[in-house]
Amino acid sequence: MSIIKYTEEEFNHKRNLGKRIVELRHIFGITQEELADRIRIAPRSLSEIENGKCSPNAIIIYRIAKVLNISLNDFYSFHEITNDTLIKDHSD
């Protein structure tokens, strides 16, 4: 078994993705358990992603964006998003 060592940049990216998922869950009023169920992963796995212990793969990110009805661009945009912004952006 080999140990994977992450650079500081990779570690920060994982942690930031996790924080972004938490932020989006809170904006949309979805619990960790509900999101995990809707994207078809175990709540523990989502917890590890949100805490930066592991990285979500592309399928998980796609599922999160689909469940929240946001674009992948919105998912990766680390600017502040509110429900009002999303509703306005998606009504065009």
**What DSSP assignment string belongs to 56-75?**
--HHHHHHHHHHHT--HHHH
The arithmetic mean of pLDDT across residues 72-84, rounded, is 72
pLDDT above 90 coverage of the chain, percent? 57
**What DSSP assignment string belongs to 29-55?**
T--HHHHHHHTTS-HHHHHHHHTTSS-
pTM (2 decimals)? 0.75
Check residue 14 and give its pLDDT.
81
What CA–CA distance (Å, rounded) separates 47 from 54? Answer: 9
For the chain, domains (ranges, CATH) are 8-90 (1.10.260.40)
Question: Is residue 77 over pLDDT 90?
Answer: no
Residue 52 or residue 8, greater confidence: 52
Using the structure block, give the residue that is written with the tokens 């592991």: 54
The arithmetic mean of pLDDT across residues 65-81, rounded, is 84
Q: How confident is the model at residue 6 (pLDDT cuts 50, 70, 90)?
A: low
